[in-house]
Amino acid sequence: MSDIVLVDTSVLLNVLDVPGRNQNRNAVLDELSFLVDATDHLFIPMAAIIEVGNHIAQMAGDGRLRRQAAKRFVTLVRDALGGIAPWRPMNFPSDEHLLAWLADFPDCAMRQMGMGDLSIQKEWAELCKKHPMTRVRIWTLDGDLAGHDH
């Protein structure tokens, strides 16, 4: 049975080869190849799409490199939306989900967890409920989201 894998910002930054955020690129590309071969179901949370775009926009230095990274990002997201990438974007959360996440945010903020990571955790938990017999995990290089594997 194929696993369900939520792809985090840290992984996408390496896939996109974003300067300064691509230290694990070779390992990430190896893992991606493994997951694709295993026919796992890969999803990009909306928070990761937004966060990657923000990281690219805030790149210091050469504007040419920023533009190149931005174009690679646009292609990645368009391919995901068009069904020609190894992953699919997750839907934007409903008002109900967002309201529930907001209720938890003050406690998360006290643990220095941002809204992006909170939303990814909540999406992971929802997928775990919907697919109790399937492995569901967050693929991340970020310590805050590591260990989310059910």
Question: What is the arrangement of strands in the sheet containing 4-7, beginning at the earlier edge strand?
Answer: 87-89, 41-44, 4-7, 136-139
In a domain, 145, yes or no: no
Residues with Cβ within 8 Å of residue 58, at least 6 apart in sequence: none
Structural domains counted in the chain: 1
Which tokens is 73 given?
A: 């990002």
pLDDT at 143 over 90: no
Residue type, 62: D
In a domain, 43, yes or no: yes
In a domain, 126, yes or no: yes
pLDDT at 103 over 90: yes
In a domain, 144, yes or no: no
In a domain, 146, yes or no: no
Dihedrals phi, psi of 89, to nearest 5 degrees: -75, 145
- What torsion, rounded to 10 degrees, do the Cα atoms 118, 124, 125, 130 define? 150
CATH number of the domain at 131, please: 3.40.50.1010
pLDDT at 144 over 90: no
Residues spanned by the domain of 39: 4-139
Q: Predicted confidence band at 91 (pLDDT cuts at 50, 70, 90)?
A: confident
Please tell me the predicted confidence (pLDDT) of residue 15: 98
* Average pLDDT for the chain: 95
